[in-house]
A and B are shown apart, each in its own frame.
Chain A
Amino acid sequence: MTKDYLFEIGTEEMPAHVVTRSVNQLADKTTKFLNENGLKFKNIKTFSTPRRLTILVEELAEKQDDIDEIKKGPAKKIALDQDNNWTKAAQGFARGQGMSVDDIYFEELKGVEYAYVHVKKTGKKASEILLNMNKVVKAMTFPTKMRWAVNDFEFIRPIHWIVSLFGNEVIPVKLLDITAGRKTEGHRFLGDSVVLANTGDYEDALKDQFVIVDATKRKEMIVTQMSELVKENNWKIKPDSSLLEEVTNLVEYPTVFAGTFDEKYLQMPAEVLITSMKDNQRYFEVYDQDEHLVNHFISVRNGNQDFLENVISGNEKVLVARLDDAQFFYDEDRKYPLSHFIQKLDNVSFHDKIGSMSEKIKRVRIIGNFLAEKWQLDEQTIADFNRASELYKFDLVTQMVGEFAELQGVMGMHYASLAGERQTVAVAIKEHYMPTTAEGELPQTIVGSLLSIADKLDTIITFFAAGMIPNSSNDPYALRRYAYGIVRILLNQSWSLPFNKVLPEIVTELDGQTSAKLPKTELQDDEIASFIRDRINQYLQRNQFKYDIIDAVLASNQQDPIQILSAANVLQLHHDDEQFKPVVESLIRINNILKKAEFKGQNIINPDLFENESENKLFIEVNNLSKLTNLTALYEGFVEIQPIINLYFETNMIMAKDETVKNNRLAQLKLISELATGLGDLSKLVIK
């Protein structure tokens, strides 16, 4: 027999961002709890609002299965000692089965006597086991927890009530001074408390009290009401799933409304208005059919239609106060030329152990120019980069960014544009912050990409030099994200940058040009290079490369992300081919031979020493391979010459008695081996 089990934790308002994951956590922990206790069930459904986390366990067995089993234990000679007393082994066996040694009997099996117990237990009732749901609650974890009243117990917010119903029966789970019952609470203002007759009443009973407990339905209500408003007014909105999710978890009973503000504010950059609406107030911004921002916003009230006009006018007033502030900053900032702000950067510290922002800008320009030359970027790009590198931090000292820090870069772009700077320059100012999250959008322009890489490289180099190196648990300056961003941009722009080679060159360029400490020893260069290599690893992992392939491509000397990715792509693409195994095995064999022979010579081969055609053939084919720059072609080449390599081994004794012949053959193998390292350290591959 089964019944549904309803468990609701009623709290004070939880942070919107923890609601969904917490109810999922409750479901997971309950699943584990029921499994461990041998209680079968069909499914767990979740409900959640800012004030409650609820699970409904569907078709939960009313009791554990009965147990009637014979269990075999240790042999008799192990179970009993010389004096015929029970050994530790016997005691442990009995205890493990929930029995005592008195229950042990012996029976012969294939000529040996063994200890047995007959385990016979009636399954416990679910109603008894469910009393332990308080342990499930106590095991829950949250990003921040709190104590309240006189308790030591911590939870996300204070707990006020618990509903625990098995069918129509209350399971009186106890937590702190709360005993679970059948009473739940309606909407804080519109609803009343309500007594549930049984689990089936839950959703409807709370709906009557203005609580939509199903988060999905609540979200649908918001979406539906919003689209009606949008349609009515011939507006457009841009979907924003994270804001929608947040708003869904800020309300128990959603009513969508629209507000208006004066058109004059639309003269400000759209980002300013959006920040005021979205980040500060959790409003959705509204567009016309041509996707221009209009002087309206959409928000969601936690309540019904009553007195909605109060709510609308209150929200309008708050927004106008914010926009007024922004307008003031916007007007103030535009009174000055850009040079006014650039000068101020002398007094802005980049980091007190490193130096001022002005100094950083100088270094970034050197790094960018060095890279631009390496990548042979055109003159206009370099000119734009130089101008952008001069400007790109000025907005930090504008009033707008002082107030709305999240607008850094964006305001720089707008103000630069207004001041008549070239569009490529203005855009680069904004783009240099990108990507702002690990998988965030990358700079689209070449100048922006270059500026972003130069800026991030400078940060990493100077932080490492100043000894502020992230460790596994602590990366306060987000250097990992910067390094990961560099890797992504390099790959996106197909720019080659072998870090081990280039870093010392950059440090040389900077030497004498800055008062900031630079990484002195090669060791530090190694550390930075390997730090960046770890990010390439991260990139490959996130892009679903197989672990052995990642190991192989990262174990080679190659430190150019683009070459490493290319090798990984080739290996991943052919990993499951039929020829993959023999090709890789033969290349590994070549390496092993070289290692065993401790060959230290060069890869220079003398064809005059060839003794047969197989040697000549391999020589010609390998020479052709060595001209390839494309790793796919290289791999395919290895596949093609596979029979020739095999024939070579069949025909020739590598470790020939004649020392010169031997070395000539080893030199041939060395050339192959060197070509193969372009694909990585193949010995790391797991070949089935």
Chain B
Amino acid sequence: MTKKKLNIQNMIFKLEEFWSSKGCMVMPSYDVEKGAGTMSPYTFLRAVGPEPWAACYIEPSRRPADGRYGDNPNRLFQHHQFQVVIKPAPTDIQQYYLDSLKVLGINPLEHDIRFVEDNWENPSMGCAGVGWEVWLDGMEVSQFTYFQVVGELEVKPTMSEITYGVERLASYIQDVNSVFDLEWGNGVLYRDIFKEAEYENSKYAFEESNQEDLLKFFDVYEKTAQELIKLNLVQPAYDYILKCSHTFNLLDARGAVSVTERAGYLARIRNLAHEVAVCFVKEREKRGFPLLKSAEDKKAGLEND
């Protein structure tokens, strides 16, 4: 590879530009801790109900149990996902995805790109979908899903979700063996930004976290979410559900959750996720599903032209 290698921030710019051209809004990362881009309200909540939605965003994703103190070249406490969700899923969404790879300099004719069956599930959020992991010369670089169920509600119309593993893809593009050798932007390396954070977060999650406090946090967050749902305050309720989920992940990383308890916690989060999804649809309905209306107006406008 003689071309100048694409750094991470340019990669993100290119993806944002590409998906914006396909009708996506470029959203900011959501400011509550979460384990995956799917858990952003820009995916989870917008997946339910009849309204159309098209968005893309970069999402820091925290997985405490995957922390390795910054010692492992490919495992991280926090990695980044680039998330694209479009509802209803466009007919040509697969082709869009392949075109987006071309924008990143990956020409399918020069590689082996495969769609390998992988039906994604997130039991703690009551989510299930059908799709693939996308292999680039044998490496999984993206997850591609047609959502079928979110928050235990049927997703209708279907939403397509594409999740690029930013570090994975960048390692491929920049041809490095360790994520810490990646260039983030303007010559600054990934290690210079994240390596210490990896160590500190791992140290906290595995050694310093206070189990009793975390258990208390979980209960308080859960109670708060329940109360907020009763008040139909969807967004803050959802924020506290995310906090429950992250707190559970911290407990899990600490090995503080036995197999039985695990199922119990997951069920508690799932119940909240379901309730908030139902509440969200109800609230949107009260407002006449504004995005549905604006899409119809737009369509009518186009037809009148």
| A143 to B: closest C-beta gap in Å | 10
| B96 to A: closest C-beta gap in Å | 13
Asked if B2 is at the interface of the complex by the 8 Å CB criterion, the answer is no
Of residues 171 to 198 in B, which have CB atoms within 8 Å of A's CB atoms? 172, 177
Residues on the B chain within 8 Å of A174, using CB: none
| A299 to B: closest C-beta gap in Å | 7
By the criterion CB–CB under 8 Å, are B172 and A148 in contact? no
Asked if B36 is at the interface of the complex by the 8 Å CB criterion, the answer is no
Asked if B119 is at the interface of the complex by the 8 Å CB criterion, the answer is yes
Residues on the A chain within 8 Å of B172, using CB: 314
Specify the main secondary structure of chain B where it touches its partner: mixed
By the criterion CB–CB under 8 Å, are B139 and A150 in contact? no
Residues 300-327 of chain A, each 1 if its beta carbon lies under 8 Å from chain B, else 0: 0111001100110111011101001100
Residues 151-191 of chain A, each 1 if its beta carbon lies under 8 Å from chain B, else 0: 01000011010000000000000000000000000001110
Asked if A13 is at the interface of the complex by the 8 Å CB criterion, the answer is yes
| A285 to B: closest C-beta gap in Å | 15
Asked if A15 is at the interface of the complex by the 8 Å CB criterion, the answer is yes
Residues on the B chain within 8 Å of A313, using CB: 137
* CA of A144 to CA of B91, assembled, Å: 20
Asked if B130 is at the interface of the complex by the 8 Å CB criterion, the answer is yes
* CA of A653 to CA of B112, assembled, Å: 88
By the criterion CB–CB under 8 Å, are A150 and B130 in contact? no
Residues on the A chain within 8 Å of B157, using CB: 149-150
By the criterion CB–CB under 8 Å, are B136 and A314 in contact? yes
* A149-B112 contact, Cβ under 8 Å, with A12-B94, A314-B136, A314-B137: no
* CA of A303 to CA of B107, assembled, Å: 13
Residues on the A chain within 8 Å of B98, using CB: 188
Complex partner residue of A349 from B94, B111, B146, B260, CB under 8 angstroms:
B260
Asked if B74 is at the interface of the complex by the 8 Å CB criterion, the answer is yes
Residues on the B chain within 8 Å of A17, using CB: 117
Residues 2-43 of chain A, each 1 if its beta carbon lies under 8 Å from chain B, else 0: 000000000011111100000000000000000000000000
Of residues 53 to 82 in B, which have CB atoms within 8 Å of A's CB atoms? 72-74
Residues on the A chain within 8 Å of B156, using CB: 147, 150, 152
Asked if B305 is at the interface of the complex by the 8 Å CB criterion, the answer is no
Asked if A538 is at the interface of the complex by the 8 Å CB criterion, the answer is no
Residues on the B chain within 8 Å of A53, using CB: none
Residues on the B chain within 8 Å of A321, using CB: 73-74, 177
- Name the interface size band of chain A: 35 or more
Asked if A513 is at the interface of the complex by the 8 Å CB criterion, the answer is no
By the criterion CB–CB under 8 Å, are B148 and A146 in contact? yes
Residues on the B chain within 8 Å of A150, using CB: 88, 156-158
Asked if A281 is at the interface of the complex by the 8 Å CB criterion, the answer is yes
Q: Interface size of B by Cβ–Cβ distance < 8 Å?
A: 35
* A302-B117 contact, Cβ under 8 Å, with A150-B157, A314-B172: no
* CA of A301 to CA of B108, assembled, Å: 12
Asked if B113 is at the interface of the complex by the 8 Å CB criterion, the answer is yes
By the criterion CB–CB under 8 Å, are A318 and B109 in contact? no
Residues on the A chain within 8 Å of B213, using CB: none
By the criterion CB–CB under 8 Å, are B111 and A299 in contact? no
Asked if A352 is at the interface of the complex by the 8 Å CB criterion, the answer is yes
By the criterion CB–CB under 8 Å, are A13 and B115 in contact? yes
Complex partner residue of B158 from A145, A147, A317, CB under 8 angstroms:
A147
Residues 117-133 of chain B, each 1 if its beta carbon lies under 8 Å from chain A, else 0: 10100000000001010
Residues on the B chain within 8 Å of A301, using CB: 112
Asked if A273 is at the interface of the complex by the 8 Å CB criterion, the answer is no
By the criterion CB–CB under 8 Å, are B111 and A16 in contact? no
Asked if A250 is at the interface of the complex by the 8 Å CB criterion, the answer is yes
Of residues 274 to 314 in A, which have CB atoms within 8 Å of B's CB atoms? 281, 299, 301-303, 306-307, 310-311, 313-314
By the criterion CB–CB under 8 Å, are B114 and A310 in contact? no
Residues on the B chain within 8 Å of A145, using CB: 130
* CA of A472 to CA of B107, assembled, Å: 51
By the criterion CB–CB under 8 Å, are A310 and B111 in contact? yes
* A189-B89 contact, Cβ under 8 Å, with A302-B114, A349-B260: no
By the criterion CB–CB under 8 Å, are A13 and B136 in contact? no
Residues on the B chain within 8 Å of A15, using CB: 117
* CA of A311 to CA of B108, assembled, Å: 11
Q: Which residue of B lies closest to A321 (CB)?
A: B74
* CA of A50 to CA of B115, assembled, Å: 9
Q: Which residue of A lies closest to B260 (CB)?
A: A352
By the criterion CB–CB under 8 Å, are B114 and A250 in contact? yes
| B37 to A: closest C-beta gap in Å | 21
Asked if B21 is at the interface of the complex by the 8 Å CB criterion, the answer is no
Residues on the A chain within 8 Å of B115, using CB: 12-13, 50
* CA of A66 to CA of B60, assembled, Å: 70
| A401 to B: closest C-beta gap in Å | 16
Asked if B103 is at the interface of the complex by the 8 Å CB criterion, the answer is no
* CA of A315 to CA of B115, assembled, Å: 15
By the criterion CB–CB under 8 Å, are A148 and B158 in contact? yes
Asked if B28 is at the interface of the complex by the 8 Å CB criterion, the answer is no
Residues on the B chain within 8 Å of A50, using CB: 115
By the criterion CB–CB under 8 Å, are A352 and B111 in contact? no
Residues on the B chain within 8 Å of A13, using CB: 114-117, 132
By the criterion CB–CB under 8 Å, are B260 and A149 in contact? no
Asked if B138 is at the interface of the complex by the 8 Å CB criterion, the answer is yes
By the criterion CB–CB under 8 Å, are A352 and B259 in contact? yes
Asked if B212 is at the interface of the complex by the 8 Å CB criterion, the answer is no
**Closest A-B pairs by Cβ, 10 of them:** A314-B137, A15-B117, A352-B260, A13-B115, A146-B130, A315-B138, A307-B110, A150-B157, A189-B108, A318-B138
Report A's interface with B, CB cutoff 8 A: 12-17, 50, 144-150, 152, 157-158, 160, 188-190, 250, 281, 299, 301-303, 306-307, 310-311, 313-315, 317-319, 321, 324-325, 328, 349, 352
16 CB < 8 A contacts A-B: A12-B115, A16-B116, A16-B117, A50-B115, A146-B130, A147-B158, A149-B89, A149-B91, A158-B146, A250-B116, A303-B112, A310-B111, A310-B137, A314-B112, A314-B137, A325-B74
